[in-house]
Structures are given as C-alpha cells and as structure tokens.
Amino acid sequence: MMKKLLSYYQKELSTLHQHGKAFAHLFPKVARRLGFSEGRTEDPHIERMIESFALLTAQIHQRLDDDMQQVTSGLMQTLAPQLLRTFPSACIVQLTPQRKASGMTAKKQLAAGLGLTTKPIDGQPCRFETLYPLTLWPASLDNFSLALDADQMYWCLQLHFSVWSGAKVEDQRLRLHLHGSANQVNTLYALIGSQVKQLTLVQDEQAHDLPVKMIGEVGFAAGEELYNRDARVAATHSLMHDYLLFSQKFHFIDLPLPEGFSASGGSQFSYRIVFNRCSLARQLDNLALMLDPGFFRLNCTPAINLYTRRAEPINLNAQIAEYPVVADVRAQQNVEVWSINRVRIQRTRENQTQSLNVYSLLGLDEAGIDEQNGLFWQQLQREEVADNQVRHQSVIAFADRQGESLLPEGDVVQLDVTCHNGSLPTRMLNGDPQGDFEADLPLAGIIINAITRPTEPQSPPGNSPSRWRLISQLTLNHVLLSGPQGCQVLKETLALYNFTNNNAFSRLVAMIQELHVTPVNTRLVSGDPHSLARGVEITLTFSPDAQHESEYFLLCRFLDRFLGLYAPVNSFSRLVTQIDRDAQTRNLWPIRAGRLSWI
C-alpha cells in the first residue's frame, strides 16, 4: 500500500516541478520572490511545503483511483460476482455402505447439499457440501475387465456387480465415477461417451440390449453447478468456471437399466460394453494393463468447501464507515466469508425490539423497501497480508440510495453468510479406513472418504486484472460468433476464465482452426413433420494435433453445452465438431435450445 502511495507521490512531485518551471517562465518576478529557478527552489521551507502538498494530492489521487475500483467492483458484484470470489477447495468423496453395519436392504437416496465435516485440522474442522444427489445401493462392484475380443476384434468392457444377501435393488440407472490418471479417465470417458457400438446388461443369463444413446453425462444439468448458489451468475459463465477449475466433477457416467429392473439378494448382473474400432480404441492396448481395480467406483459425488452459518453480530457505530464481516471469531484465520446472503437489523426503541430486512444496494430484491427506511448494504473486498499470505477480507458498509452513510447507532446487525476454510482443507490427511468425514445426517455403517486430494483454493484476480476481465466480458457479450471474427471471439471467451493458466486447456483452445455458423431447418423430433424448426449449425474444426489430446472429447462435450446456452430466441443450435482432414472424427451433437435437448 505504501509503495503504491510512493509512486503517486513521485508523480505529483514531478508534475509540480514541471508546472513550477512553466510558472517561473510566465511570472519571473513572482518566481524570484519565491526563490524558484527552473521549477525548483533553494529555500528548504518552500521545498518542504511543495513536498507536503505533493503527498496530500497523491493521497487524493490514490483515493480517486480506489473509488474507481469500487465502482468496478460494484458492477462486477452485479454482473460477474464469480470474478470477485475465491474458488474454494473441492474434492470427490465416496460414501461406502458397510455390508453388515449399515443394515441396508434397499437403495437409500441422499439429496444434494449433504453437509460433511472433516476431522480437526490444526484444531479446526472443515465443512463441505455434496454437489450431486446420491443413490446408495446394497450392492458391490466386484470387478471389471477390459479386453480385446479375439474373434470380433472389438474392445469390450465388462462390469460385474453383486447384490447383498437379503437386499433388493430396483432403479432406472446406475452412476459410476471414473477414478484414475487424467489420461486414463479422459480416454475411457471419451470411449464410453462416443464410441460404444453395443450396450448389454446380462442378468440371470438373460441379455438385455440397451440403447447406446441413453448413456448419460453428468455435471452439465441445471442445479449441478458448483456456483448454483448465486442466480446472478449466468449458466454459461458457471459452466466455464467449473470446467476450468474442477473438471473432475464431469468424470461420471450414467448407465441405463432395463425397464422394471429388479435384482434380489445374492444375485449378480453385469454390463457388457463393446467399443467401435477407432483411434481411441487402439490406445487400449497399453491402457488396459494400467487400470487400477478401483478405477470404476459407486456412490461418489463432488463436494465443495462451502457452507452457510450465522456470522458474528455487528454493533453499529456512527464513527465507523465499514465493518469487517467475521464468520467465526474463534477461527478468523481459517474461516473466510464467501458471500453475504441475508442482512437483518435488530432495532430497539422504547423497550420494543423490531427486526428489519436490509437489502443489497446492488441487488434486485426490494419488495420490502418500505419497511427498512431506505437503508441498504454493500459488500466490499479488502486485501490484507497475514503470515506472508494475501487474504481477502469481506467488509460491509451501509448507505442510502444517494450513497450517504446511514448509521443508526445502537442497532445490531445479523448476517447469514456462506463461508469456506481457505487453504486449510489441503492439509487434510485423506484415506482414513474409518472415514475422513462425518455427515450431518445419521448414516450408520457408511464410511465417507475423500478419494481425491482437496484442491487448492483459487483466489480471484487482482483489481486491475478484474477490471480488464469485466471489460472483456462485456465486450464479448456484444460480438456475434457468426461474424467474421467468430473463431477468435470464441477463443477469447474461453480464455477469459483461464486465470489459473491451465496449459492443457490453452493448448486445446489454440487447436480450434475454424468456426462456421450456418442457418438450418430440421425436425426437432425425428419422424414428426410438425416439429420442423429453424436454427443454426455451428461447425468447429480442430487441427490434426487434437486427436492426440485425451481431453479432446470432454472439451467438445463442454462446448456442445456451452454454445447450446447461446441458442437464439425461439430457435436452436446444433454443434458439429471435427478434426481437419479426418471425416471419421466428425461428430454431430444433439439439437439444443438452452439446457433443453432433442435426441
């Protein structure tokens, strides 16, 4: 902060000397009385006065620039709050029911948002919440095999399951998590997602052929975003944020089950997945020997280090302009405020206590504006250095619509906030046989472990980069992909959120060679002539090097969903991806209108 002030001071002092020189040329008599010569004076008292004035004007200049940052921050809180907030630690957790201790005889469903608490880390437990709903089965994945069928020359994946004794399983789908190295996961994910020739479920020696198109992707639907807590974050930006900062949330597949499927205790069933002959399948020669027995896992979900709680109350004082928001006074170093959700004031007048809602100055919810006497709150971020680390301290200020401070002394402010534990989760020792987490719900006989290391939290870019990212975002929102610079616009849009400098992502984006947008007319429902609609077809062509990138398919699936959210009003979009000069790689994705799809 002082180094920044020094820079302003030197600029102001240089400006005063330049103006002093011009003043001496215009008014030489006055300049001689002041002792000025070429913008400088030999009188030490006058020189000290000039330096003092330079310091004061430097502070004013700095304050004006800081106010500009506050204006930008206010805009970003409304238009792009994700660029102002830390991306908290996240991991993949597995809930493993114990065959005897759990006593499960049927499936158990758990809603998303299940609270999980770690064992104390340096005396402070961390809290996570699950992202996906879970269906726990009284069944086990016994083993799997990945081998080449010597007769048909097709690669075949077989997954073998068994139902616990005394239990019964009935469901419509089965969800698996792919757990392994990035190359292994991306290769199997691409094969299962795009190169399945035949899908069969075998139960009691009876084979059920299942539609390949019913193999479902996970993580792209509404409500499955890591940022689903804030309605102001556009779906396109939330999806991009998730992909760049925690792509493991997409490493799940949903396998369909036959209609009316039921498996009783002690029985077995298995999936047989046959892959097409393709360049990806040829990589399985080496990959099949490297897969760990725990590569496919049941009962998994992403979990993020975000949770809600009541912050410490604030006593309003007319002498204080802004107040630090403290989530937990006993653990200020390890509990940081991520967002302020609700603000209420407890006001005592004539022995009567009144509770009033206070609305955000930049918010949309003003239904009760009359009840709170024009008082609004605003959340600001301040950077502070502690233990050689930069922390973002949330502060709250109160004002009316004109920006004037309104501080009714004696009132008490109550805040509901969303918090995270900073970098503390990264010091967690995961893999405890007795479990790494305790659930908020009573889950007897279920061990909960983090099967991936919690990620490092990603701090938002600083004030200056944030301003440029905001300008870039607002600019790109008004440029059409169908224009002459559509390919470059798409690349810039994707690079906007890559503030962690993900090299693999940057390399893939750089391989996008061409983008063409073509008007099309097609049937939304095959065979229904009344479903004819007008839309656009977006063709993305990648360089030949893309076929050697294991993440190519996941990026294409992400772009399919991402560009689908930009579908024109009363229209649809359809993505076509292909590698240059390779017709076999051409992939026609489903017709989409926002989050809706027609298959």
Q: How many CB atoms lie within 10 A of CB 371?
A: 10
Phi, psi of 44 (to 5 degrees): -65, -30
For 561, residues 6+ apart whose C-beta sits below 8 A from its C-beta are: 220, 239, 592
Q: How many CB atoms lie within 10 A of CB 540?
A: 21
Residue 15, pLDDT score: 79
Over range 109-134, report the average pLDDT: 95
Distance CA 166, CA 160 (A): 19
594 neighbors 565 (Cβ within 8 angstroms): yes
pLDDT band per the 50, 70, 90 thresholds, residue 197: very high
Residue 469, pLDDT score: 63
Residue 212 above 80 pLDDT?
A: yes
pLDDT in tens, 512-538: 999 999 988 888 777 777 778 888 899
Residue 456, pLDDT score: 94
Distance CA 76, CA 461 (A): 12
DSSP readout, 265-276?
A: TT-EEEEEEEEP
Over range 101-125, report the average pLDDT: 93
Residue 371 above 60 pLDDT?
A: no
Pick from 80, 93, 91: nearest CA to 240: 80
Pick from 490, 468, 466: nearest CA to 479: 490
For 155, residues 6+ apart whose C-beta sits below 8 A from its C-beta are: 146, 147, 148, 149, 191, 274, 275, 281, 284
Question: Which ranges of 459-551 would DSSP assign to H, the alpha helix?
Answer: 463-476, 486-495, 503-510
Residue 134, pLDDT score: 96
Q: Which helix (H) or strand (E) holds 484?
A: none
Residue 433, pLDDT score: 93
For 433, residues 6+ apart whose C-beta sits below 8 A from its C-beta are: 447
Q: Write 527-535 long-range contacts (CB < 8 A, 24+).
A: 531/598, 533/571, 533/572, 534/571, 535/567, 535/568, 535/571, 535/572, 535/573, 535/574, 535/591, 535/593
Give the range among 114-118, 140-144, 379-383, 399-403 with minimum mean pLDDT: 399-403
Distance CA 557, CA 554 (A): 5
Residue 157 above 90 pLDDT?
A: yes
Residue 581 above 60 pLDDT?
A: yes
Residue 492 above 60 pLDDT?
A: yes
Residue 388 above 60 pLDDT?
A: no
Over range 218-243, report the average pLDDT: 83
pLDDT band per the 50, 70, 90 thresholds, residue 508: very high
Question: Which ranges of 484-587 would DSSP assign to H, the alpha helix?
Answer: 486-495, 503-510, 552-564
Buried b (16+ CB within 10 A) or exposed e, 270-302: bbebbbeebebbebbeebeeebeeebbbbbbbb
pLDDT band per the 50, 70, 90 thresholds, residue 241: confident
pLDDT band per the 50, 70, 90 thresholds, residue 485: confident
Q: Per the structure block, which two tokens stand in for 508?
A: 């893939």
Residue 409, pLDDT score: 62
pLDDT in tens, 50-98: 888 888 888 777 776 665 566 666 677 777 777 778 899 999 999 999 9
Residue 589, pLDDT score: 93
Distance CA 21, CA 54 (A): 16
Range with the largest mean pLDDT of 63-67, 97-101, 392-396: 97-101
Supply the Cα-derived Rg of the chain in whole angstroms: 30
475 neighbors 489 (Cβ within 8 angstroms): no
Residue 427 above 80 pLDDT?
A: yes
Over range 188-205, report the average pLDDT: 95
Distance CA 558, CA 190 (A): 12
Share of residues in the chain with pLDDT > 70 (%): 86
Q: Where are the domains of the chain?
A: 2-79, 86-134+425-460, 138-298, 307-420, 463-598
Q: Which helix (H) or strand (E) holds 66?
A: helix 44-79
Residue 159 above 60 pLDDT?
A: yes
DSSP, collapsed to helix, strand or coil, labels residue 443 as coil
Q: Per the structure block, which two tokens stand in for 197?
A: 């020739």
Residue 117 above 90 pLDDT?
A: yes
pLDDT band per the 50, 70, 90 thresholds, residue 402: low
227 neighbors 76 (Cβ within 8 angstroms): no
Mean pLDDT rounded to a whole number for the chain = 85
Distance CA 60, CA 72 (A): 19
Residue 30, pLDDT score: 79
The more confident residue out of 486 and 73 is 486
Helix axes 552-564, 503-510, angle to 10 degrees: 70
Over range 104-130, report the average pLDDT: 94
Residue 33, pLDDT score: 75
pLDDT in tens, 535-569: 889 999 999 999 889 899 999 999 999 988 877 77
Pick from 69, 58, 47: nearest CA to 6: 58
**Could you give the strand order of the β-sheet that contains 154-163, starting from the edge strand earlier in sequence?**
139-149, 154-163, 268-275, 196-203, 206-210
Residue 449, pLDDT score: 97
**Whole-prediction pTM value?**
0.84
Over range 306-315, report the average pLDDT: 93
pLDDT in tens, 315-332: 888 777 788 999 988 888
DSSP readout, 185-245?
A: HHHHHHHHHH-EEEEEEEETTEEEEE-GGGPEE-S-STT--TTTT-TTS-HHHHHHHHHHH
Distance CA 219, CA 215 (A): 14
